[in-house]
Amino acid sequence: MPKIAVLPGDGIGPEVTDAAVAVLKRADEIFDLKLEFDYFDFGGAAIDAHGEPYPEATRRGVRAADATLLGAIGGPKWDGVPREIRAETGLLALRKDQGLFANLRPARVLEGLEDLSPLKPEIARGVDVLIVRELTGGIYFGEPRGMSEAEAWNTLRYSRPEVERVARVAFEAAAKRRNKLTSVEKANVLEVGEFWRRTVEEVAADWPQVELEHQYVDAMAMHLITHPADFDVVVTSNIFGDILSDLASVLPGSLGLLPSASLGEGTPLFEPVHGSAPDIAGRGLANPTAAILSAGMLATYALERPEVGTAIENAVAAALKRRRTPDLGGDASTAGFTEAVLESLAG
Ligand code: ATP
């Protein structure tokens, strides 16, 4: 019985999580997944109830689960609390606790929704790119780091195991998709880039079916705008992934459409890219698509049932042809759109 730890969180988190759980329950009926759901406080809701964003009971629940489904956390109500118990600090602690070193962010322009993209429809058509970002190493964490009156310094350093493990996640994802992987670095200027490229080449030997190419990050930024549909999976370091995943995230045209997964040693985490959107919370206005697609990624990457993930993606695409929430120019409520996805999933 796969156990799902559900952390609805704050703002629109509970609304979009309800939608994602409803879709997983319907998928369970169809595909016999035998899922078990356990709910835990997290983020601002946990600060209110327990005085900290990631209480022990939640930590234990996440550790015992096969996957974590998170809504969204934070909001103005908790902005004033001390940094150690900020809602966002809870998310960093969860990632660290579970050793989640790879962040997966797909950006897909669905058929018929090309008009939402800021790119010309003929360039946006068919975009389906997955950015795999190294999440726990690189220049954001490298030592030594510091600042004086006269200068400031940070360190970019990657070990072989750090590069190998994120490369493996990326090759595995590519093998579940269209068998193409683009590794992105700056090997023409940085030793770390050369090392990254060489290490990814070595890992490639285990994935002969996946076609591997290398790009410099500056060229890649241009390609993602001029011909984004040419890419399948992209793997890169923490800082380059931070920038490129944000760049790719604008391609589908709405924050409400973007799911994510964080994978690593412990329980994998699935969550929408968007935040808690306090401005629209509790009014049935939230687009649950990102949360539902995160549930789809949970099926693919945590349950190892890619056919279920694909069915959920297809149901969302079909529902979006009929009904849309206000952020996409429609008038469907969160529950109304979710109903359309459930109908499409049932076929
Ligand atoms: P955070 O800092 O927590 O990431 P943020 O303030 O940068 O949050 P979000 O909360 O992600 O940004 O959202 C910004 C705005 O986009 C929201 O105020 C809301 O109007 C809109 N938005 C975000 N997610 C959704 C959604 N799922 N459905 C509809 N609108 C959304």
Stretch 175-204: mean pLDDT? 97
Give yes or no on whether 1-101+277-347 and 102-263 have one common fold. yes
pLDDT at 88: 86
- pLDDT at position 219 is 98
Predicted pLDDT at 143: 96
pLDDT band at 85 (very low <50, low <70, confident <90, very high): confident
The minimum-distance atom of ligand 1 relative to the CA of 75 is 3
Q: What pLDDT score was predicted for residue 165?
A: 98
239: confidence class by pLDDT, cuts 50, 70, 90? very high
The answer to whether domain 102-263 has CATH 1.25.10.10 is: no
246 given a catalytic annotation: yes
Q: Rounded mean pLDDT of 38-45?
A: 97
pLDDT at 313: 95
Q: 155 CA to middle of ligand 1, Å?
A: 32
Rounded CA separation 86/88 (Å):
5
How far is Cα 57 from Cα 128, in angstroms, rounded to an integer? 38
Mean pLDDT of the chain: 96
Residue of 264, 311, 324, 263 whose CA lies nearest to 112 = 324
Number of Cβ within 10 Å of residue 304's Cβ equals 11
- Band (pLDDT 50/70/90 cuts) for residue 83 is confident
How do the domains of the chain map onto residue ranges?
A: 1-101+277-347, 102-263
For the segment 249-285, what is each residue's pLDDT rounded down to a tens digit? 999 988 899 999 999 999 999 999 999 999 999 999 9
Q: Which of 79, 115, 218, 279 is catalytic?
A: 218
Q: Please tell me the residue having the least CA distance from ligand 1 atom 17.
A: 277
242 flagged as catalytic: yes
22-26, 89-93, 337-341: segment of lowest average pLDDT: 89-93
Show Cβ contacts of residue 234 under 8 Å, excluding neighbours closer than 6 positions.
129, 130, 131, 132, 170, 181, 182, 183, 184, 220, 244
Q: Which amino acid is at 247?
A: L
DSSP 3-state percent helix, strand, coil across the chain (nearest 5): 50, 20, 35
Q: Taking the model in full, what pTM does it have?
A: 0.94
Pick the CATH number of 1-101+277-347 from 3.40.1030.10, 3.40.50.970, 3.40.50.720, 3.40.718.10: 3.40.718.10
Q: What is the pLDDT of residue 214?
A: 98
Catalytic residue among 186, 232, 301, 327: 186
Residue to probe by mutation, ligand 1, list 73, 92, 255, 292, most atoms within 8 Å of CB? 255
The upper half-sphere exposure of residue 148, i.e. CA atoms within 13 Å in the direction of its Cβ, equals: 3
What lies within 8 Å, CB to CB, of 301 at 6+ separation is 104, 173, 261, 263, 268, 270, 309
Round the CA-based radius of gyration of the chain to a whole number and report it: 20
Among 79, 274, 292, which is best to mutate for testing ligand 1, by the most ligand atoms less than 8 A from CB? 274
Report CA-CA distances (Å) from 55 to 7, 46, 88, 121, 282: 12, 7, 13, 46, 25
Closest CA to 337 of 288, 292, 279: 288
Nearest to 287 by CA among 300, 277, 296: 277
Which protein residues are within 6 Å of ligand 1, measured from CB? 12, 16, 74, 255-256, 274-277, 279-280, 286-287, 290, 327
The ligand 1 atom at the shortest distance from the C-alpha of residue 273 is: 11
Residue 131 CB contacts under 8 Å (≥ 6 apart), including other chains: 104, 105, 106, 107, 234, 236, 241, 244, 245, 248
Cα–ligand 1 centroid distance for 259 (angstroms) = 13
Kindly report, residue by residue over 103-162, the tens digit of the pLDDT. Answer: 999 999 988 889 889 999 999 999 999 999 999 999 999 999 999 999 999 999 999 999
